[in-house]
Chain A
């Protein structure tokens, strides 16, 4: 479980299927905005397969992190819902 405020990185891999992690956020670093609780994993549920519950989080990213210095306004933010198996703790150097 991650706490609100924890710094995390979105995993950067490309499995096929009904994935709810947008490509533009993969590999990006953000902060847990809030934990939303457990939900059935849509990656299985979409195919009517047994879907284990996974923790879902709202992760907040800066526009600078997503789009670089070319961002329209680097300090604006983007929040997205990300499942726990797409999140890893970020150990920034």
Chain B
């Protein structure tokens, strides 16, 4: 009788999975307390807090994909991007704020990959929130020591004729990789090109999709 009085089974007969059933952590409680105090004292409104969360969630790798597709298509923009990426992308509406941005380009002979060994620096205005794996000690420590092995685990095999350049985002710069433009995309417009640009291809742990 699978449905009889088994506390660890749901009425459908499946085991219950752990969920967020435990008490709040110290920092979760602290965040709620500080946020409620700020609202109570009139420093911010709950609408402002919600709007900021919406603004953070609105940042998405499709922003970065627009930058890459334009760099592939528009030689003047490409030059401006390589010279001053923060300025060039700000003019597209992607403001990185007080940080600065460096664009690095993959070619037939160079493959770039980005890591932040000290924390989780990431070009959030172009790619959204950093991924959990990007923040792990494993990715951060191994990418500076054995990048080719790490890339192979992501499915990117670098040939013998390719130099791997790792960029450790240690201070005020943020980085975006401009992946190599796939062959067979001559004459494509920027909207079509942007669809080929994946999030991982802009971190260097992936390549642009083939058409």
Contacts and interface: CB of A to CB of B under 8 A. Distances in A.
B164 interface: yes
Interface residues of B, number: 21
A22 B117 contact: yes
Contacts of B145: 67, 72
Contacts of A22: 117-118, 168, 170
Contact of B168 (A36, A76, A80, A83): A80
B118 A78 contact: no
Contacts of B144: 24, 66, 78
Contacts of B169: 81
A39 B172 contact: yes
Interface in B165-194: 165-173
Nearest to A71: B145
Contacts, number: 63
A78 B166 contact: yes
B137 interface: no
Contacts of A73: 148, 164
The 10 A-B residue pairs whose C-beta atoms are closest, nearest first, are: A81-B171, A80-B168, A76-B164, A78-B166, A72-B146, A20-B171, A81-B170, A39-B172, A80-B170, A79-B167
A87 interface: no
Contacts of A72: 145-149
A7 interface: no
B163 interface: yes
A81 B148 contact: no
Counting chain B CB atoms within 10 Å of each CB, the highest count among A36, A39, A72, A80 belongs to A80
Contacts of A83: 171
A84 B100 CA distance: 17
Counting chain A CB atoms within 10 Å of each CB, the highest count among B147, B168, B169 belongs to B168
Contacts of B172: 36, 39, 42, 56, 81
A49 to B, nearest CB: 17
A69 B145 CA distance: 12
A26 interface: no
A20 B145 CA distance: 18
Nearest to A70: B145
14 contacts: A20-B118, A20-B170, A22-B117, A22-B118, A24-B144, A56-B173, A58-B102, A72-B146, A76-B148, A77-B163, A77-B166, A78-B144, A80-B167, A81-B168
